[in-house]
Amino acid sequence: MQSYMNHMKMQKVTETLKFLARKALVACPAVMAAALTGQSNAAEFANFTQTIPGSTVKFDMVAIPEGEVTIGSPENEAGRDKADQAQKKVKVKRFWMGKCEVTWDEFLPYVFVSQSEVAKFENKLEGIIDKDGCTHPTKPYGSVYRDRGEKGSNPAIGMGWPNALNYTKWLSKKTGRHYRLPTEEEWEYACRAGATTTYFWGDDAAQAKEYAWFKDNAGEGTHLVGKLKPNKFGLYDITGNVGEWCLKADPKAPGVLRGGAWTEETSKLRSAARMVEVEEWNENDPQSPQSIWWLSAADFTGLRVVCDEESGDAAAAAAPATAAAPAADAKPAAAANGDVKALYLAQCKGCHGETGKGDTKIGKAKGARDYTTEAVKATYDEAKWVEAIKNGIEKDGKHLMSAYKDKLTEEQIKALAQYMKSL
C-alpha cells in the first residue's frame, strides 16, 4: 500500500511539473523556440537589447535557434501565385532577428546624417559618404513619412533595397555587431516558427486581424509596431504592416519583400508569399535615372534586421547581395559596340522608354522629347547635347534632367548622345 501511495504522489508531482512547463512555453517565446527544435536556449545564445551608440534608441533582438524548414508553398495552397517558390527543405543556422520591424526612431539617424559627419556628397542619386565610410541615402522628395505613420514607433517605409542594405552596414559599424538583411530562407523559417500551415497561426485567414495589419484593418497607413499578437518565436508584425526586404541570392535579380504589408490582401500574409520588385514601385520619381534610395510609389517597403553569431558566416551570406550595390564613386565601364544600348536603357529608360519616344509616365510629366521624330533629330548638335547630358537641365526652376558628369565618362556621354540621335 505504501508503495502504491508513493507512486501516486510521484505521478501527481510529474503532472504538476508538466503543467508548469506548458505555462512556461506560453509565457516565454525563447523557451517555445527551444521546444520546437529540441534544443536548449543556452545563456550565450539568448535574446538581447541593442542600443544605437550616441543615442537613446533601443530595439530588441530575438534568438532564433537552428533547425530545418520546408519553405515555399504546395501547388494547391489557397492564394498561391507565380512568385511563390517551389517547396524544398532547408537547414538554417541559428541567428538573432529583430523582435519588430525597423522603426523611424531607428532609421532616421541613418537617413539624416549630421553635416559634421559628412565626408563626401556624391550626387542626388548616389548618396552621402560619412567619415566612417558608410553610404547614406539622399533625402526623398516630400515628407519621408508620406502621411503613412509619423510616430517614432511606426515602421520606416519607402526605402529601396540598396537603402535597406546600407542601413544594416551603418548599424554594424555603429554597434560593432554584424547586422544584415535576412535571407529568404531565414525569413520564412523565422516566420513559420515551426508551423507547416498556410499562415504561421494556422490555415484560417479569418484570424489574420489578430496578428497582422493589412488591407482589411490597417486603414490609410502603418501602425505602431508590436501591438498585435506575435508568432511562436516572439516576432511581432512578421506579416503585415510593411513588407520586409531580404538578401538577394542573385545580385542581378529584383529585390524581394516578404510578409505582405498594410496595403495587401490576406493572401500576401501567407508564410510562403513573396512580393517581387517591379518598375512601377518607383514610377512617380521625376529623376532620370531614378533614385535607388527611395521608391516613390511604394509606401509599403520596410525591413527587419538579423544579426549573426559569427561575422565570418554573415559575410559569406551577405556577399552576393553586397555585390549588387555599386560603390558610390564607381562609374560604368566605357560604352562600346552594343554596350551603348545597355547604357541608354540603364540611364534613360525611366523617362524616354526603351524606344526613345518619351511616352513613359515620367516622360509625359516632364514633356520629354520624342527622339524618334525627324523634328527632334534635326536639332542634333553634338556639343549641345553632350553639354545637356553632362550638366543636366533645369527650366523655370523645374528639374527636367539630372547631371551625368559625375556618373559617366566623357566617352560614354558622347556615345549616349549619338545613340539617342539614332533612335
pTM of the shown model: 0.68
**Higher local confidence (pLDDT), 244 or 325:** 244
pLDDT at 51: 97
Quick: pLDDT tens for 134-162. Answer: 999 988 777 888 899 889 999 999 999 99
What kind and span of H or E run contains 166?
A: helix 161-175
Which sign does the torsion angle of CA 363, 276, 182, 201 carry? positive
Residue 98's closest CA among 28, 136, 155, 37?
A: 155
Question: Residue 195: its pLDDT value, please?
Answer: 98
**In this predicted structure, what is the pLDDT of residue 398?**
56
- Give the chain's domains with CATH numbers: 48-322 (3.90.1580.10), 339-422 (1.10.760.10)
For every residue of 229-291, DSSP letters joined together read: ---TT--SSSSSSSEEE---SSTTSPPEEES--TTS-GGGGSTT-EEE--GGGGTT--SSSPP
Tens of pLDDT, residue by residue over 4-39, are 445 444 455 445 444 444 444 334 455 444 444 444
CA dihedral 31, 35, 41, 45 (to 10 degrees): -100
Does the structure show a pLDDT above 50 at 378?
Answer: yes
Q: What is the pLDDT of residues 272-290, one digit of tens each?
A: 999 999 999 998 887 777 8
Contacts of residue 62, defined as CB under 8 A and 6 or more positions apart, other chains included, come to 29, 30, 47, 96, 97, 98, 99, 233, 234, 235
In angstroms, the first-to-last Cα distance of the chain is: 101
Dump pLDDT digits (tens) for 334-368.
Answer: 444 457 776 676 677 667 777 888 787 666 766 77
